[in-house]
Structure 1
Amino acid sequence: MFDIKSFFKREVEKKLINVDDYIFMPERVEMELEGGQLNCVLNSDGRVDIFYSKEGVTEVGSASRKHPFTAFEKELYHGVYDDVITELVKEVDKIIDGSSKYFRRSQTLPFTAALSQNPADSNKF
Structure 2
Amino acid sequence: MADTPERFTVHESGVWFHGTKADLKVGDHLVPGHRSNYRPEHTANYVYMTKVLDGAVLAAEMAQGDGPCRVYVVEPEGPVEDDPNVTDKKFPGNPTHSFRSDRPVRVVGEMTDWTPHSPEFLQRFREGLEVLRREGRDVVYD
User: Which TM-score bucket, shorter chain as reference?
Assistant: under 0.3
The alignment's TM-score, normalised by the length of structure 2, stands at 0.25
The answer to which structure, 1 or 2, has the higher relative contact order (CA under 8 A, 6+ apart) is: 2
Larger Rg: 1
- TM-score, normalisation: structure 1: 0.27
Q: Which has the higher helix share?
A: 1
